[in-house]
Amino acid sequence: MGDTYRAVYTVKIAEAVYVLHCFQKKSKQGIETPKQEMSLIRERLKAAQAHTKGA
């Protein structure tokens, strides 16, 4: 296994930084993020946005 990690995050949601997802990159080629990971990131982004609106 490699030692490359990706952190997907968004900034400036009500003056906060949300780390949405981190994962170890397993593929030795290509830069595309797996669809399953992207789906999870989108869900967490929606949750962060909802959290901000509720605050």
∠ CA 52-53-55, rounded to 5° = 65
Domains identified in the chain, total number: 1
| Residue range(s) defining the domain that contains residue 46 | 5-54
Indicate whether this model's pTM tops 0.75: no
Task: Say if residue 12's pLDDT is above 90.
Answer: no
31 vs 51, higher pLDDT: 51
pLDDT(55) > 70: no
Question: What's the token pair of residue 29?
Answer: 């080629």
Name residue 8's beta-bridge partners. Answer: 21
